[in-house]
Chains A and B, each alone.
Chain A
Amino acid sequence: MSNSKTLTFAFMDPPFESERTVTFFRLLDAALEKNANVRVFAYEGAVALSFSKQAPHGNAVHGLNREEEAHPLSKDWVAALQQKATGKGLTFEWINCGLCVDERGVNDVIDGCGRGGPPDLWRYASKAFNTLTIGTR
């Protein structure tokens, strides 16, 4: 959709530690639903959100095996958003801050996620219609 506006989001939280992570992904989904192109700059802990080696597990406390528990993984959310964007003719770009990736050792990311740095955040934000940053605590 060539007339769609582009929104940039910057985020800092890793998976599994904060309610902010869920709200962030809900925002990305809502943005695509509203036919916006989306660009994400993942900073600090957020670079782990696209880590390809995330793995689900069973839950003995719940009494469920791995398949039954169907544990959410943020990498699957990223992939789902990529697919949704493609299906709607929108763009969904995801850049991880490279130094943040290196220090955490989460270099293996799912397809479609790239590596960059702060100049990319400024580039994304300068060219987008609007930007939302969500810091961590």
Chain B
Amino acid sequence: MSDYLFIQSQDPFTEVRTEHQFALAGQLYDAGHNVRLLLVQNGVTPAHKGARSVHFDKLLKWGVPVLADNFSLKQRQILEKDLKENIASSSLDTVIDALLDGEKVIWN
């Protein structure tokens, strides 16, 4: 089994491709691989409570762990309490740790 970290900068409100990016993450997860998503930049926007994104919410229900970059959240003044359930804030250390652990790290 492999480990994947997707750095998700694209957001579902402006980038249609995110539907397929999220689906691929879910498919890898279903295949038994360790998969996580780190939202960065505008990629954090669907993580806000009340944000309407069918595909992002489907990914959350899929069970893929989703993290959100602190700096990106602060830029948009999104507090931890404003995040949807099961989304944790994190830092870019997550990326470096994943790279140093030999994970497949992919920028979306």
Contact = CB atoms under 8 A, between A and B. Distances in A.
B95 interface: yes
Contacts, number: 51
Interface residues of B, number: 19
B41 A130 contact: no
A130 B100 contact: yes
A133 B107 CA distance: 7
Contacts of B100: 5, 7, 34, 36, 129-130
Interface of A: 5, 7, 19-20, 23, 26-27, 30-31, 33-34, 36, 129-130, 132-135
Interface of B: 7, 9, 40-42, 69, 71, 91-93, 95-97, 99-100, 102-103, 105, 107
8 contacts: A7-B100, A26-B92, A27-B96, A30-B95, A30-B96, A34-B96, A129-B100, A132-B95
